[in-house]
Chains A and B, each alone.
Chain A
Amino acid sequence: MDITERKRKERQLIVHTVVSLAIFAAGWLFLPILTEKILLGVVLVLIAGALYFSNNTGRYVCKRVLLALLTVFIISAITFFAMNAIPGGPFSKEKAPSAAVQAVLEERFHLNEPVGKQFILYLEGLMQGNFGVSTKTGREISTTIFDSFSISAQLGGYAALLAVVLGVLFGSIAALNRAKAADRIIIFFTTLFVAVPSFIMATLLLLVFCLQLNWFPIFSADNQSYVLPVVALMLSPMSYITRLTKTSMLDVLGQDYIRTARAKGVSQWLVIFKHALRNALIPVITYVGPMTAYILTGSMVVESVFTTGGLGTKFVQGITNRDYPMIMGTTIFLATLMVTATLLSDLVYKLVDPRIDFD
C-alpha cells in the first residue's frame, strides 16, 4: 500500500468513525427525544453503510456499531423476560389490595397486556429515558439512577484515570529497569494486587486507614473523601495495565527502529517518549473497555463498603430488597455503558494502529 492511499484510508476511517460515533452518541445522550422511528432510521443507515462501503474500514465501523446496538437490545430483552419469569407480581404481597385497586394499578402499569406488548412498551419507555418506578420506594428509577450515577462517575473516572497513568508509569519503569530491584518490586506488588478482589481491598483499606489509623474520615454526605474508594477500585486495573505496558514496552524496545533511533544519537528520553511509549500504549487501549466494565461492577461492592450512596450502592440495595424494576433499570443502564466503552476502545484501537487488518 503506498503512502497516499494509506493516508486517504486513514482520513476515511476518521470521518466514518466520527460520523458513526456522533450518531451513536446522539442516540444515547439525547434519550428523551429519541423515538423508535429515529432509532430504526439509524439502524437502516448503518446496515446500508455496511453493505455500501466497498472499503473494509467503513464496513467495520458500521458492523461494530450495529453489533453494539444489537447487544444492548439483547441485554434489554434478557433482562425484561428474565424478570418477567419471576413468579408473583409487584402487587401480590401479604396485604393484597382490593380487586378494584389492583385492576387500576394493572391498568396503569400495563400489567394486563400480553408480555410481548409489555416488552415493546418497556423499550419505548427506555428510549425516552423512562426506566419505570421502583416497587419499594415508589420513586422514578431514572431520577435515582442519574442522581446517584454522578457520584459513581466521579469515583470511576478518578479510578480509571489513575489506573491508566500510574499503570503506564510503573510499567515503563519496570520495562526500562528489567530484572533490577525496581522491576522486581513493581512486579511483586502487581501480582499481589491482581489476586485481591476489590471488595476485600476496600474492606481492608477501610479497616486499616479509617478505623485503626484514623487517617481518613468515614464517608458521609457532608464529608466526602474519595481517596480510599478510588484506591480500592484502582489497584487491580492499575496492576493489569502495569503488566500489559511492561510486556509491550519490552517488545517495542527490542525493535529495529529503536536501535536505529539510538544509533542516530537520539537522547534516551526522546527514544522512550516519542518512539517507544507511543507504540507500547496501543495494547493498553484495548484494555479500556474491560476496565470500564471492571470498575463499574467493582464500584458496586466498593461503594457498598464505603456507603457512598452512588449507583453501586443503590444496585446492591435493589438486589437485597428484591426491587425488580430497579435491578432491571440499573442492569440495562450499566450494560449500555459497558458496551459503549468496549465499542469505543475497539474503534480507537483500529484508528491508532494502521497495521491492524480490518475484519
Chain B
Amino acid sequence: MSEYNPNVPPKKKPFSLQLDVAKFEPATDEEKAQQDVMRESTTFFRDGMRKLFRNPLAVGSMIVLIVILVTIIIAPLIVPYSYSNMITVNGKRDKSAKNLPPFTYSKLEQQAIDNGEKIFPHIFGTDELCRDYFIRVIYGARVSLAVGFFASLIVLFIGLLYGSIAGYAGGKTDLVMMRIVDIIYSLPDTLMVILLSVVLDQLLGQRLQNTVLASIGPNMLSMFAVFGLLYWVGMARLVRGQILTIKNNEYVLAARAMGAKRSRIIRKHILPNCMGVIIISTALQIPSAIFTESFLSFIGLGVQAPMPSLGSLANSARAALQAYPYKMVFPAVGICLIVLSFNLLGDGLRDAFDPKLRK
C-alpha cells in the first residue's frame, strides 16, 4: 500500500463502477466565492419590516405618531400650566386671561412681562375658564390615546382567549360559544355603548367615590367595561378562524402524536402562526376605539369634567364656534391626525405582514 496523499487522486480500478476522480479538477477560488452567503437569510418578521419601511405612507404615519407621543409625554414637563386650574400670575388667579387667542398675554401677564418677568406663551390661547388651552389639548390627546391602547388591549386579551378556546376545542363547545358571539355581534354596538355608559355611569358613580378608581372617573371605567363586554367578538371570530386553519397542519398533528398538551400546542404552535393577523387587527382597533371615545365625549358621556379628551374639547368648543373657531380646529385636527396615522400604519402593516396579500 502506498502512502495516502490528499493532493493526488486515487487510481481507478479498471472494472470498478466508482467515478474516475482523476477526471475532476479542484474548484478555483472564484468558483468557491460563488458559494459564499452574500446576505443573511431573511425571516418572515424581518422581511415584513423591510416592506413596512419601504412604504412611505406607513413610515410617515409612524413618524407622526412618534412625534405626537413624544409631545404628549414631554410637553407637560415643559409647559408650566395645569389642565384643571386657572392661570396664576405671581400666585394671584388671573381672571383677565379669558378666551385669549394663541400667543397673546392677558393684562396682568403683560404687566408682569413689563416688570421683566418671563411668562410662558399660551401656544393655543386660553379657554373660557382661564386655563391654558395647549396643555388641555395635550392632556386630551393623552386621554384619547390611552383609551385607544387600553381598549385594544382588553379586546385583544378577551378575544384571544375566547377565540382560541372555541377554535381549538371545536365540536359542540365551538358551536355554543360561536352562537353567543353571533348574538353579541348582531347587537348594534354604538347604541349599546351609549346605553351601558348611561347606566354604568349612574351605577358606578356613587360607589366609586373615595376610591383609587375615582380619579379615572366612572365614564372612563364604563367605557372600558363596554369594550370588554361588546367589542371583543370581532377579535374572537378572527382568532377562531385562524386557529381552525392552522389546527389542521401537519406540525400540529406531529406535536399531538408526540403527546404535547393542548395548552402547549396553542402557545407554541398555533398562536405564533396567527400573530401577524392579530397584531394588524389590534392596530386597526386603536383608531376605532379613539373614534368611539370621542363620539361618547361629544354627546356628553365621556371623561369626567376637569379631565379633557379631544372629543369633549371639541364638544365644548361648539358653544362659541363663531367667536373662537380655533378652539374647534386644534382638537379636531388632533383626532383626525391620530386616527389617520393609525389607519395608514394599520394598512401598511397589513400589506407587509399578511401573507395572503403577498404577490
List residues of chain A with CB within 8 A of the CB of B198: 319, 322, 327
CA distance A212 to B325 in the complex (A): 10
For the complex, is B299 an interface residue (Cβ under 8 Å from A)?
yes
B203→A327 contact, CB < 8 A: no
A79→B195 contact, CB < 8 A: yes
A203→B199 contact, CB < 8 A: no
What is the CB-to-nearest-CB distance from A94 to chain B, in angstroms, rounded to a whole number? 17
What is the CB-to-nearest-CB distance from B186 to chain A, in angstroms, rounded to a whole number? 5
For the complex, is B335 an interface residue (Cβ under 8 Å from A)?
yes
**In the complex with contacts A82-B195, A85-B203, A200-B335 CB distance below 8 A:** yes
B294→A197 contact, CB < 8 A: yes
For the complex, is A162 an interface residue (Cβ under 8 Å from B)?
no
A197 partner, pick from B183, B295, B321, B344, beta carbons under 8 A: B295
Instruction: Determine the residue in chain B with the shortest Cβ distance to A87.
Output: B202
For the residues of A in contact with B, the DSSP-based class is: helix
What is the CB-to-nearest-CB distance from A332 to chain B, in angstroms, rounded to a whole number? 9
Looking at the complex, which of A17-25, A152-160, A335-343 is the stretch in contact with chain B? A335-343
CA distance A199 to B300 in the complex (A): 13
CA distance A78 to B230 in the complex (A): 13
Chain B, interface size: which category?
A: 35 or more
For the complex, is B190 an interface residue (Cβ under 8 Å from A)?
yes
B191 partner, pick from A67, A83, A85, A334, beta carbons under 8 A: A334
Interface residue total, chain A, C-beta cutoff 8 A: 44
For the complex, is A74 an interface residue (Cβ under 8 Å from B)?
yes
**In the complex with contacts A74-B183, A82-B195, A331-B195, A319-B190 CB distance below 8 A:** no
A200→B332 contact, CB < 8 A: yes
Interface centre among A74, A196, A207 (most CB of B within 10 A): A207
**Which A303-343 residues have a C-beta within 8 angstroms of B?**
304-305, 316, 319-320, 322, 327, 331, 334-335, 338-339, 342
For the complex, is B194 an interface residue (Cβ under 8 Å from A)?
yes
Looking at the complex, which of A5-13, A263-271, A272-280, A293-301 is the stretch in contact with chain B? A293-301
Interface centre among A82, A195, A304 (most CB of B within 10 A): A195
**Per-residue contact bits, chain B 106-118, to A (CB 8 Å; 1 contact, 0 not):** 0000000000000
A195→B339 contact, CB < 8 A: yes
B182→A67 contact, CB < 8 A: yes
Please report A residues at the B interface, Cβ cutoff 8 Å: 67-68, 70-71, 74-75, 78-79, 82-83, 85-87, 191-192, 194-197, 199-200, 203-204, 206-207, 211-212, 293, 297, 300-301, 304-305, 316, 319-320, 322, 327, 331, 334-335, 338-339, 342
- Smallest CB-CB A-B distances: 3 pairs: A195-B340, A297-B190, A195-B339
Supply 16 A–B pairs (Cβ within 8 Å), ascending by A: A67-B182, A75-B191, A75-B192, A82-B199, A85-B203, A191-B340, A200-B332, A211-B322, A212-B325, A293-B188, A293-B190, A304-B299, A305-B318, A316-B299, A331-B191, A334-B188
Please report B residues at the A interface, Cβ cutoff 8 Å: 182-183, 186-188, 190-192, 194-196, 198-199, 202-203, 206, 287, 291, 294-295, 298-301, 311, 314, 318, 321-322, 325, 328, 332, 335-336, 339-340, 343-344
Known A316-B299, A331-B194, A331-B195; further 5 A-B contacts with Cβ < 8 A: A191-B343, A194-B343, A203-B328, A319-B301, A335-B188
